[in-house]
Structure 1
Amino acid sequence: MDALAGLLEGPRARGAFMIRACFDPPWAVRVEDRAPLTVMLMVRGDAWVTPDAGEPVRLRAGDLAIARGPDPYTCGDDPGTRPQVVVLPGAECSYPDGRSLNGTMDLGVRTWGTRSDGSAVLLIGTYLWQGEVGGRLLDALPPLLTLTSDRWPCPLTPMLMEEIVRDEPGQEVVLDRLLDLLVIAALRAWFARPEAAAPAWYRAMADPVVGRVLRLVQDDPAHPWTVASLAAKAGVSRAALARRFTGLVGEPVMTYLTGWRLALAADALRDTGDTLEAIARRVGYGSAFALSSAFKRVYGVSPQEHRGRPERSRA
């Protein structure tokens, strides 16, 4: 499992909130949904995305933006336009004074706004919760990142435009998978930019020694790895691996391995009904007690408490 696959391998989109938003100016939507990740793909016209803390960013046709929650932001035709709509957790919408919209802006299948052939059209996909495996990558993203069409022409736009308005059996699953693909492709393009501040462990994937070690522990977390056994696999001494890994990743190799194992366990607790003993064996702990002790030390709650918490509270 490589760095980008780790983002969505556990928390794959499931019933993600996806719409085609269509507006004529003046328009502005205040987003306060606390979603961990939202993708905005500008299909026609332009728009401004204005974070509460940060400068407005303009989107032109073909541009893509990714907003990392939970901080709110406003999207509109101009940074000075006052919001007419507020998007709340659970994809609920209201007027700024708190009154419910009651579906008054629905324009058809997954289409929303003021006019279906409006001068501004965006495709919006929102992940409603965050799994723990993706946390390492999400934490490395800025609150708002953009890719312009001249730097990255999105190859998925025609397919998304066609699929989002279909009303067929299984359509939700199709859109979820397209959203996953869009995010992975966009982040891969973004991290490839020289100016992108990729996380240290992501950049370390390119190192012939540390990259091999990262792949070993990510692909087989249940193996009883030691610094010595990983060093042997990488063809270097134990001391050389320890220095090189810490220097590139920013933490010792066994600390990284512990974090990876616990992240996998957190996702398994959320996504499966497997026993704690089975999860412990799968992620490299000798017993449920050992996993429970490590989990509570890092996350502050027991595995049982984590499993019982609502998904949104884990974001």
Structure 2
Amino acid sequence: MDALASLLDGPRAHGAFLLRSVLTPPWSLRIADRAPLTLVHVVQNDAWIRTEGVPARPLHPGDTAVVRGPEPYTIAGDPDTEPRIVIHPGQVSTTADGVGLCERMDLGVRTWGDTPADPARPGQLPPGCGVLVTGTYEMGGEIGGRLLSALPRVLVLPAAAWSSPLPALLNDEVVRDEPGQEVVLDRLLDLLLIAVLRAWFARPEAAAPAWYAAQADPVVGPALRLLHDDPAHPWTVADLAARTGVSRAALGRRFTELVGEPPMAYLTGWRLALAADLLREPDATIAAVARRVGYGSPFALSAAFKRVRGVSPQQYRERTAAAS
């Protein structure tokens, strides 16, 4: 498993919130749901996305935006339109004055807005309305956090920059009501996120993080995959060097140069990120977590965890539970 696949294992959708929005101009939504990650695909007509302190950015039909939370943002048909609808945590919608809108704007299966389809033209929408498909991850955890930290506040992948059938497929499937549809939509959303991030990181303006760029290196790439495939293995630099066919000094030097830290430091960070996510599971003992991430005893895990994070695994678990 490569580094991107490992990090995407964190924000895997499970009952994600997906919605097709159909809005009559002038429309403007303030998204204050505090979701850590949201994908927005523009289906029809232009839109603008604006975050605090950053000029509004245009979105054209076929463009896909990835928004990193939890700070609020605004998406509108015109950048000068003040928000008329606010989306709160739990995907509760109200007017700017707090009047509830959820039931009033329900247009059918995973469809929401103020522009119902024309009965005389089944399946057709008025040409002037804005149409968006939105997928929201309600994820937490350290592994997802490592991915989020590599992303800008908002990234926009223009339609002309890539070619994929996934946005159109998600747009078609989001309004279907079939057995198992929730799982179908979760997997489609995951696939779209992976495809968008892969296309984005390949672009020069993306400034791809060091761990992503290093995957293409013939020496460091295989070493990263070994660490991510089996973090519990008792790895040493000598082991990695032997597996990748270079000397220990050459691997250490090249790994540090490309990734930004030595191999064992990277492994420690990855193990502790995995441990932090496992500690969120109420039934997982600290001893079991230690074994799964490569520490010989709960005491060894506790010492490493406290040295790097400043709290013991038990304290981290209690704080996470209280925050949830």
TM-score w.r.t. the length of structure 2 is: 0.90
Which segment drifts farther, 238-247 or 121-130? 238-247
Task: Work out whether 1:16 is the aligned partner of 2:26.
Answer: no
Cα distance in 1 for partners of 2:192, 2:21 equals: 18
2:194 aligned partner = 184
Which segment drifts farther, 216-225 or 285-294? 285-294
Amino acid paired to 1:37: L
Amino acid paired to 1:287: S
Deviations, residues 236-291 of structure 1 (Å, cap 9, x unaligned): 22222222111111112111101111111222233573322222111101112221
2:67 aligned partner = 67
Question: Aligned pair count?
Answer: 314
Structure 1 residue 309: Cα displacement: 5.2
Amino acid paired to 1:36: P
Structure 1 residue 102: Cα displacement: 4.5
1:151 aligned partner = 161
Matched residue of 1:70: which SS? Answer: coil
Cα distance in 2 for partners of 1:302, 1:198 equals: 33
- Identical counterparts, % of pairs: 62
Structure 1 residue 310: Cα displacement: 5.7
Matches within 5 A, 1:161-200: 161-200=171-210
Deviations, residues 107-138 of structure 1 (Å, cap 9, x unaligned): 11111111133521110001112332132221
Q: Residues 102 and 20 from structure 1, CA distance in 2 versus in 1: closer, same or farther, beyond 3 angstroms?
A: closer
2:26 aligned partner = 26
Structure 1 residue 305: Cα displacement: 4.3
Which segment drifts farther, 299-308 or 14-23? 299-308
Matched residue of 1:270: which SS? Answer: coil
Matched residue of 1:195: which SS? Answer: helix
Cα distance in 1 for partners of 2:161, 2:37 equals: 22
Matches within 5 A, 1:121-136: 121-136=131-146
2:150 aligned partner = 140
Task: Work out whether 1:295 is the aligned partner of 2:274.
Answer: no
The correspondence for 1:268, drawn from 255, 261, 278, is 278
Matches within 5 A, 1:105-120: 105-116=105-116, 117=125, 119-120=129-130
Unaligned ranges ≥5, structure 2: 117-124
Cα distance in 2 for partners of 1:204, 1:110 equals: 40
The correspondence for 2:252, drawn from 242, 252, 257, is 242
Which of structure 1's runs of 4+ aligned residues deviate more than 6 A?
Answer: none
Cα distance in 1 for partners of 2:183, 2:310 equals: 34
Q: Residues 91 and 297 from structure 1, CA distance in 2 versus in 1: closer, same or farther, beyond 3 angstroms?
A: farther
Matched residue of 2:214: which SS? Answer: helix
Task: Work out whether 1:251 is the aligned partner of 2:285.
Answer: no
Q: Residues 312 and 186 from structure 1, CA distance in 2 versus in 1: closer, same or farther, beyond 3 angstroms?
A: farther
2:296 aligned partner = 286
Q: Residues 292 and 169 from structure 1, CA distance in 2 versus in 1: closer, same or farther, beyond 3 angstroms?
A: farther
Cα distance in 1 for partners of 2:6, 2:322 equals: 20
Cα pair 1:231 1:237 within 8 Å, conserved: yes
Matched residue of 2:268: which SS? Answer: helix
1:51 aligned partner = 51
Cα pair 2:3 2:224 within 8 Å, conserved: no
Q: Residues 53 and 313 from structure 1, CA distance in 2 versus in 1: closer, same or farther, beyond 3 angstroms?
A: farther
Deviations, residues 141-160 of structure 1 (Å, cap 9, x unaligned): 11111111111133113321
2:37 aligned partner = 37
Cα distance in 2 for partners of 1:205, 1:130 equals: 25
Matches within 5 A, 1:200-239: 200-239=210-249
Matched residue of 1:242: which SS? Answer: helix
Amino acid paired to 1:280: A
Cα distance in 2 for partners of 1:13, 1:312 equals: 23
Which segment drifts farther, 293-302 or 278-287? 293-302
Matched residue of 2:96: which SS? Answer: coil
Q: Residues 83 and 260 from structure 1, CA distance in 2 versus in 1: closer, same or farther, beyond 3 angstroms?
A: same
2:98 aligned partner = 98
Q: Residues 296 and 50 from structure 1, CA distance in 2 versus in 1: closer, same or farther, beyond 3 angstroms?
A: same
Give RMSD over aligned pairs.
2.0
Which segment drifts farther, 180-189 or 271-280? 271-280
Amino acid paired to 2:207: A
Unaligned ranges ≥5, structure 1: none
Cα pair 1:3 1:202 within 8 Å, conserved: yes
Which segment drifts farther, 275-284 or 211-220? 275-284
Which segment drifts farther, 51-60 or 4-13? 4-13
